[in-house]
């Protein structure tokens, strides 16, 4: 089985699987890892086609169900009986799905604003043409990647200590891996129809300045059992924009959940 790249940071407490979002990398967590090491042992994963992870040619590698298998394989390879989860944006959709699939192995989970996790498919919505999308990224390369509206180069509230390394890591993005992520991961990431089955203590750390997430937050709080929410004055990149508030909320939740 092909696994994404992951790195274990020595810390105190249960391992904490940390999964970044689309077009991001492990640099997403630069303002969080040291603080979280006081209550957890961070296990930082990079998505396929991102950072130091491979970009497999097999489309099935990018499916959310395969990420669940990959996370479980990482847990087993590390000899972990139980761990905590932290998912950011698209990464949150994947960690939520993993928790819903293997709740016995999850002690608690944290996630941030994730439209992809709670999106509802509109009636009549057409599936993207995978070959067409992937072909365009093959032809245009990095130009196609850099034109994506959520590319880090368009972010203007992320602190320099995170933003500059994120931009540097964008040079590691594999254009075809990004296209496959768009088609195969993003396209089927939603767990909207499953979250009412949650049995694991969960915390949403919400960047309240991202107003477009408000209806999804309301849905999650109304539908997902065992979910609490902390509101921070930040946008989508809540863990970087208000790193201190994020770290305090995460540490307090993980400490309570021990």
135: domain CATH number? 3.40.50.1820
Q: Report residue 147 as tokens.
A: 């034109």
> Is 27 part of any domain?
yes
> Is 46 part of any domain?
yes
Total number of domains in the chain: 1
Assessment of whether the complete model's pTM goes beyond 0.85: yes
> Is 169 part of any domain?
yes
> Is 173 part of any domain?
yes
Q: Check whether 124 has a pLDDT greater than 60.
A: no
Could you tell me which residues are beta bridge partners of residue 83?
106
- Per the CB < 8 A criterion, the answer to whether 208 and 215 are in contact is no
- The Cβ of residue 97 has, within 10 Å, a number of other Cβ atoms equal to 23
Nearest to 250 by CA among 230, 233, 236: 230
Instruction: For residue 75, name the pLDDT band (cuts at 50, 70, 90).
Output: very high
Q: Check whether 144 has a pLDDT greater than 80.
A: yes
Structural domain containing residue 205: 6-256
Nearest to 101 by CA among 211, 195, 232, 241: 195
> Is 1 part of any domain?
no
pLDDT digits (tens, 9 = 90+) for 187-213: 899 999 999 999 999 999 999 999 999
SS3 assignment, position 84: strand
Q: What are phi and psi of 10, to 5 degrees?
A: -60, 130
pLDDT digits (tens, 9 = 90+) for 77-122: 999 999 999 999 999 999 999 999 999 999 999 999 999 999 997 6
């Amino acid at each position: 089985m092909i696994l994404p790249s992951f790195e274990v940071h020595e810390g105190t407490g249960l391992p904490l699987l940390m999964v970044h979002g689309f077009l991001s990398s492990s640099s997403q967590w630069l303002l969080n890892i040291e603080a979280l090491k006081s209550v957890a042992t961070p296990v930082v994963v990079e998505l396929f086609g991102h950072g130091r992870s491979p970009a497999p040619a097999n489309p099935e590698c990018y499916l959310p169900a395969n990420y669940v298998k990959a996370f479980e394989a990482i847990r087993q390879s590390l000899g972990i009986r139980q761990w905590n989860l932290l998912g950011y944006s698209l990464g949150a959709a994947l960690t939520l799905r993993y928790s819903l699939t293997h709740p016995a192995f999850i002690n608690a989970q944290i996630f941030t604003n994730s439209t992809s996790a709670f999106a509802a498919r509109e009636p009549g919505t057409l599936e993207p043409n995978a070959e067409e999308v992937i072909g365009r990224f093959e032809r245009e390369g990095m130009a196609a990647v850099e034109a994506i509206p959520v590319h880090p180069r368009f972010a203007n509230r992320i602190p320099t200590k995170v933003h500059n390394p994120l931009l540097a890591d964008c040079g590691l993005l594999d254009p075809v891996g990004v296209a496959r992520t768009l088609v195969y991961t993003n396209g089927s990431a939603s767990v909207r129809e499953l979250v009412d089955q949650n049995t694991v203590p969960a915390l949403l750390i919400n960047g309240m300045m991202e107003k477009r997430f408000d209806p999804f937050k309301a849905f999650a709080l109304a539908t997902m059992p065992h979910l609490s929410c902390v509101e921070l004055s930040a946008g989508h990149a809540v863990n970087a924009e208000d790193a201190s508030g994020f770290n305090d909320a995460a540490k307090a939740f993980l400490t309570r959940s021990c």
